[in-house]
Amino acid sequence: MTTNHAPPGAERTAVVTGGSRGIGRAVAHRLARADLAVVVNYASDADAAEETVAAITAAGGRSTGVRADVADEHAVAALFDRAEQEFGGVDVVVNCAGRLALSPIADLDLAVLDAVHRTNIRGTFVVAQQAARRLRAGGSFVGFSTSVVGTQFPAYGAYAASKGAVEALTLILARELRGRDITVNTVAPGPTATDLFLDGKTPEQIDRLAKAPPLERLGTPEDIAEVVAFLTGPEGRWVNGQVLRANGGMV
């Protein structure tokens, strides 16, 4: 496959899935501050996406919001088409879109399992597939896993299993893109203060998880966005085919 290069001096463009809220929103803002045009993908919350886009443009950046279910290959192809049509190409893809369900394995409704895996595994695969076809030379793909793959907390069986698959497929993609000057890495956050993480947890549970890392605090979406900015920027070009556990030192 031939890889296009961005014209000299051309604006770089990022596609951020799940970019309307939480870590995805922080990533979108951080990449915009690094002078990338940002395509903010969202699944259903158009208002949140519009807020993200408006904040980026108000700060002098370029951005647009595009609705797409990451597990729908036609919708994702249209998302990348829009990025190319509006901004000239795609240089960075960050797949923040994800779904979380907590339950003991013995009790989990298999329909919930299917929904988690549809977004987290199929969705990652579909987005990675388009990234492999569209990214220009010098580009980067960043997938999202979780440190629970290593910590193995109870009730996270479906979620951790799906993210283990994300790690495997993204690291294989790094090797499949040999010779194209494209980096592929996965970020695996620890407990991070997002709505997705905080929902349904008691203050005691949150406090216990905050004390788990040696730094004794929850991560912030901005902490994770800085890691993504490093991996997709010039300073991170020698990091490829890795899982980076951004979790404050949790085992």
- Of 42, 156, 159, 197, the active-site residue reads 159
Between CA 199 and CA 180 the distance in angstroms is 41
Helices 157-176, 110-117: crossing angle, 10 deg rounding: 30
- Residue 191: how many other CB atoms lie within 10 Å: 26
- Residue 190: how many other CB atoms lie within 10 Å: 24
- Residue 203: how many other CB atoms lie within 10 Å: 8
What are the helix (H) ranges across 11-137? Answer: 22-33, 46-58, 73-87, 110-117, 123-134
Q: Is 159 a catalytic residue?
A: yes
Question: Following DSSP, what letter does each residue of 124-164 receive, concatenated?
Answer: HHHHHHHHHHHEEEEEEEEEE--THHHH--TT-HHHHHHHH
Could you list the active site residues?
Answer: 159
